[in-house]
Amino acid sequence: MLALALLIALAVQPVWSAQAAPLTATCSYTVRSGDTLGVIARRFNSSVAAIAEASGIDNPNVIRVGQALVIPNCDGAAAPPAPAAPAPSQAIPAIRAQSLDSAPLPPKDMDQALLDRAVGATINLQVETRLGFTAGGTGTVIGQDGRTFLTAFHVVGDTDTGRLYPTREIRVGPFMDWTLRAHVVAVDPEHDLAVLHVDDAADFGGFSFVPVGDSDSVRLGDTVYTLSYPGSAHGSLVTTRGTLLSMLSLTTDSATRYFLTDALASPGSSGGIAINERGEVIGIVSAVIFRRGTLDRLGLPQVGRVTVLVPINWSRPLLD
Structure confidence by residue, pLDDT tens digits, 84-125: 333 332 223 333 333 333 333 334 556 788 888 898 899 988
DSSP state letters, the chain: -HHHHHS-B--B------PPPP----EEEE--TT--HHHHHHHTT--HHHHHHHTT-S-TTEEETT-EEEE-S-TTPPPPPPPPPPPPSS---S-EEEE---PPPPP----HHHHHHHHHTEEEEEEEETTS-EEEEEEEE--TTS-EEEE-HHHHEETTTTEE--EEEEEEESTT---EEEEEEEEEGGGTEEEEEEPP-TT--------B--GGG--TT-EEEEEE-TTGGGPPEEEEEEEEEEEEESSS-TT-EEEEESS---TT-TT-EEE-TTS-EEEEEEEEE--HHHHHHTT-TT-S-EEEEEEGGGGHHHH-
The pLDDT value recorded for residue 251 is 59
The pLDDT value recorded for residue 246 is 85
Q: What is the mean pLDDT of residues 179-201?
A: 92
The pLDDT value recorded for residue 149 is 94
Q: 62-66, 111-115, 233-237: which has the highest mean pLDDT?
A: 111-115
Q: Which residues, listed in sequence order, are joined to residue 238 by a DSSP beta bridge?
A: 63, 228
The pLDDT value recorded for residue 23 is 34
The pLDDT value recorded for residue 233 is 39
Find, among 294, 263, 289, 274, the residue nearest to 218 by Cα.
274
Does 247 or 36 have the greater pLDDT score? 247
Q: What is the mean pLDDT of residues 165-191?
A: 85
The pLDDT value recorded for residue 135 is 85
Question: What are the C-alpha distances in Å from 18 to residues 63, 75, 262?
Answer: 21, 17, 31
The pLDDT value recorded for residue 109 is 59
Least confident of 178-192, 197-211, 239-253, 269-283: 239-253
Contact 48, 72 (CB under 8 A): no
The pLDDT value recorded for residue 115 is 85
Least confident of 210-219, 236-245, 294-303, 309-318: 294-303
Is the pLDDT assigned to residue 59 strictly greater than 70? no
Find, among 275, 268, 278, the residue nearest to 309 by Cα.
275
Does 233 or 216 have the greater pLDDT score? 216
Q: What is the mean pLDDT of residues 253-282?
A: 85
Domains and CATH numbers, the chain: 27-71 (3.10.350.10), 95-320 (2.40.10.120)
The pLDDT value recorded for residue 248 is 80
Chain mean pLDDT for the chain: 75
Question: What are the C-alpha distances in Å from 269 to residues 40, 122, 308?
Answer: 17, 11, 11
Q: What is the mean pLDDT of residues 153-175?
A: 88
For residue 129, how many other CB atoms are within 10 A of its CB?
17
Looking at this protein, which amino acid is placed at residue 137? Answer: G
The pLDDT value recorded for residue 204 is 84
How far apart CA 295 and CA 5 sit, in angstroms, is 18
The pLDDT value recorded for residue 65 is 66
| Maximum pairwise Cα distance, the chain | 60
